[in-house]
Amino acid sequence: MVLIVKTIILSSPSNSILKFKANQIHQTVAVCIFFWCWLLVIMSCQSNHPESENYQTREYQLGIENKKLLILYDSADPYGSQCFEQTVIACQYAKILFEKFDLAVSTNLPDLGVYSSVASATEFLWKLDRIQSQKIEQFIRNGGRLTLLFRGWNDHLAAVFGVKNRRLPAISGENIHIYFEKEFLPGGKDLVIENQHVSFFKVTPEKAVTVIASAKNFPILWLNSYGKGKVLYWNTGILAQKINRGFIIRSIAAVQPYTAAVIANIGLFDLDDYPNSTSNLKLEPIKTEFNLTMTEFYVLKWYPDLLSLAKSFGTKYTAALIFNYNGRTSPPYHFYEWLNGKIKLGGKTIKSSIYAARSLNATTELGLHGYNHQPLTLKNWGSVENMKKALSAARHRWQFDNLGAEPQTYIPPLNVYDSTGINVVQQVFPEIKQIGALYLGNFSDGQYRDFGPEPWNQNLYVIPRNTAGCILTEFFRRSMISILNSNGIWAHFIHPDDVYPIGERYQNELLAGLEINSLSWYGGQQKNGIYYHLIKWMEFANEHYPWLRFLTRQQAYNVMQWYDRTQLQVSARGHIVDVESNIAPFYFAFYLDAKNKLEAMMGGELLHEYPTEMGCHFIFKGYEHNIIMHFRNRIIHERE
């Protein structure tokens, strides 16, 4: 009934009588939607946990047809091409439909009016002559939207860009700090991108321009209104970096009247090197703080404290078991260290490592870190046979100690592996489905991985980690909020020995001058130990991303199989937004470029609303394949 009535509204002639009736019907629709939304919530009370999800899929083509994003790039532009690559991947994650236009092939632009907006990922805009530049100028003047994701210049478009310069400005290239004056991403208030070697134009913005970020008294990111349209300009090339993909999605959404982006909604928390073969020595700072041995601290204090975090923040963990630190890369492969650690419980002395593995809380999945901490590379192990024998010994020990079902997750020691090593892992442990590799780093070391099949073994799936440790630095804050605004995933890891002064866990450039070696676990009455730093990090996540659901890696793997297949189509007219997906349930972010309020919704649930100076950021869960949303203020349709 609601769908039929809404169709009448959208297709009615524009005479005054029908307008009056349409308004009456429109109000009735809003009431009906609100009632059904209320009834849905009362009757369903759906859970956000994947174990309770009953995924359904529709294989036929979706009925709604989105206008696509047009991405301008130039395959002859070596630096801009990197930005183009990141833009394509970010849009694929978000399920934002797009078309590509290569200026190296042709500079005769297509009809821009058929696209939702235009995004430029090249500095070769100078190739566009006056006629082609006028196409862009008229497109924006009439209500079109343009995002410049990579610093580029064209004399004919200076006014569109929102700068006073009318000729190619001077360019500067140096190490700078980029300071955000506006909260561009949730949790990005006063964000500083530190020590970036970037080039930027020395431009003077028009007074009406909204500067979002700056450096050296020059604007780096700004928003300009031109005619009926909007332009967002990045005066730098930092979006060519993988870490900044979330800024790409937010940049596109900042100019479009509305943007929908599918998210996986996954929070992962890995416990590397736990359970492990631990020492019975008392080392500082834990010796002074608790008078505990390393093994006592890990089993009786560290892990129980993490369980307290789980109760407070809903965290789930994936523990990465390691049997030894003996450094052996050739037989025999013994387990003396694994059996060395001891604790006292109930007046009895027991082997701590086996106890730790068997007593993991239900919130914790047990995965594999390795036989020992030597990365699985041919360079380290010398032969495939050595790796196989070590992993086979680990598998036998797992079964002998009754540690439960064989692991489904592999976390590589030192975050390093090669193509041979990862294939040996699957041969010895065929149950393993996924790898917790690094999001950044060096590809040749088994790092710099994306979400999806492992390039060296398509049977394994990678959900990479992008933050680590207990201290939320500016680097980790940027990394965290960027990926959350790219595909809605935060994958974090810590070590039980983070508290010990080994130094390698924290690089000085990431700590902003904070000396990790001076910190203890609690920090005494000041409560400035790394445990309380971790609490602050979790509080930050809970404040800005309260919708984030924490999963074990097994659960996340299952969710990603559905997320990868999800398609989304969205249309808006007046106050009404239609959303259609081939998968249900599903999660999506919804951006509006102006302040607004959700009045009613059918087929889904509002999880979070985050208003910013540049519009609204909503997080929704869709329970049905078709969703209808009614907003208080009219959503401007493209170029209306």
How does pLDDT run across 143-174, given as a tens digit for each residue?
999 999 999 999 999 999 999 998 988 888 88
Distance CA 24, CA 27 (A): 5
C-alpha dihedral sign at 552, 558, 561, 563: negative
Cα separation of 573 and 336, whole Å? Answer: 69
What pLDDT band is residue 24 in, cutting at 50, 70 and 90?
A: very low
HEC profile for 178-234? EEECCCCCCCCCCCEEEEEEEEEECCCECCCCEEEEEECCEEEEEEEEECCEEEEEE
Single-letter residue type at 43: M
Distance CA(622)–CA(602), nearest Å, equals 9
Asked whether 434 and 409 are in contact (CB, 8 A), the reply is yes
pTM of structure: 0.90
| 36 pLDDT higher than 80 | no
Whole-angstrom distance, CA of residue 319 vs CA of residue 553:
10
Whether 278 and 355 have beta carbons less than 8 Å apart is answered as no
User: Which tokens belong to 333?
Assistant: 């492969």
84 or 46: which leads in pLDDT: 84
Mean local confidence (pLDDT), 25-45 = 46
**Whole-number pLDDT of residue 199:** 87
Domains of the chain, each with CATH number or no CATH: 2-62+563-631 (no CATH), 69-259 (3.40.50.880), 266-546 (3.20.20)
pLDDT at 393: 98
What is the reported pLDDT for 16?
40
Contact of 279 with 294, CB cutoff 8 Å: yes
Mean pLDDT of 489-500: 95
Average pLDDT over residues 487-511: 76
Kindly report which listed range (62-66, 128-132, 158-162) carries the lowest average pLDDT score.
62-66
Q: Both tokens of residue 259? A: 């943007």
Beta strands in 403-451 (DSSP E): 409-410, 434-435
Using pLDDT thresholds of 50, 70 and 90, give the confidence band for residue 40.
very low
Residue % of the chain over a pLDDT of 70? 87
- Alpha-carbon distance 260 to 579, whole Å? 9
Q: How many residues does the chain have?
A: 640
Tell me which residue of 574, 571, 575, 547 sits closest to 34, measured CA to CA: 575
- Residue 37: which pLDDT band, with cuts at 50, 70 and 90? very low
Give the tens place of pLDDT for each residue, 377-387: 999 999 999 99
Name every residue whose Cβ is closer than 8 Å to that of residue 376 and which is 6 or more positions away in sequence: 370, 387, 412, 413, 417, 418, 420, 421, 422, 424, 425
Please tell me the least confidently modeled range out of 125-134, 464-473, 518-527: 518-527
CA distance linking residue 516 with residue 341, whole number of Å? 26
pLDDT tens profile 385-398:
999 999 999 999 99
